[in-house]
Amino acid sequence: MKNQVVLDNRRDVPEATIRRLPVYRHYLKQLESEGVVCVSCTQIANWLSFSPIQVRKDIEFTGVEGKPKIGYELKDLIAHIENFLCFHTKNEAVLIGAGHLGYALLGYHGFKEFGLEIVAAFDNSQDKIDKFINFKKVFSIDKLEEMVSRMKIQIGILTVPASCAQALTDRMVAAGIKAIWNFAPVKINVPKDVVVQHENLASSLAVLSKKIDEQIKRDLK
């Protein structure tokens, strides 16, 4: 499992760092709206219950420079995090599978902030084709290849059952998709030049179940 994102000429950035940076940013934006001007690692750490050392390490990857005893200028820190996370790169994506989860993602407004825009959805159900979900049109899956290559879309969001995930992955890749956000509960195989980010609700649920189990054992002591 790949847990590190390799950056040219720089230290490897742990995936955990990349996952935490949006959480810091969310908190910093909140402080910004309250009129705060400067912030320290300790403040961020206390608020989020992380360790200050961890926060400092994570923030250092963005290249921002702090001032001794003061910390970081809030605006500067937010800008560095957003730049590091490529917030301002516009990325168009298509969504494959307009079921419940696809529906939820089409209605989620938080993606645009990250530069991601879902421009179209595809499905094979006649009930869904040519309908609009949150102003995005659902097209027949038959039109996938033609539209992806014509619109030069590079990102595919896969929200289909496990049974058809690989076949649709192959079709996306053949049409020119270079990155897949996979919500299907199955591993998909792609060529080396295609990036996959796997979203696994089952795994998160497993972690939750395990935590609950341990909590119950502690309570019984």
Binders in 52-71 for a copy of itself, by CB under 8 A:
54
Taking the least distance from each CB to a copy of itself, the nearer of 144 and 188 is: 188
Binder among 114, 119, 145, 171 for a copy of itself (CB under 8 A):
114
Q: Is 204 in the site for a copy of itself (CB under 8 A)?
A: yes
The binding track of 142-171 with respect to a copy of itself, each residue x by CB under 8 A or -, is ------------xx------x---------
Binders in 82-101 for a copy of itself, by CB under 8 A:
85-87, 89, 91, 99-101
Q: Which residue from 76, 16, 119 is spatially nearest to 5, judged by alpha carbons?
A: 16
The one-character DSSP state at 160 is S
Q: Is 7 in the site for a copy of itself (CB under 8 A)?
A: yes
Q: Is 8 in the site for a copy of itself (CB under 8 A)?
A: yes
Distance (Å, whole) CA 38 – CA 55: 15
Task: Judge whether 202 and 208 are in contact, CB under 8 Å.
Answer: no
Q: Which residue from 182, 197, 207, 199 is spatially nearest to 5, judged by alpha carbons?
A: 197
What are the residues whose beta carbons fall under 8 Å from the beta carbon of 78, sequence distance 6 or more? 25, 28, 29, 32
Q: Is 110 in the site for a copy of itself (CB under 8 A)?
A: yes
Distance (Å, whole) CA 141 – CA 123: 5
Q: Which residue from 129, 134, 178 is spatially nearest to 152, judged by alpha carbons?
A: 178
Taking the least distance from each CB to a copy of itself, the nearer of 140 and 166 is: 166
- CB of residue 144 vs a copy of itself: minimum separation in angstroms? 20
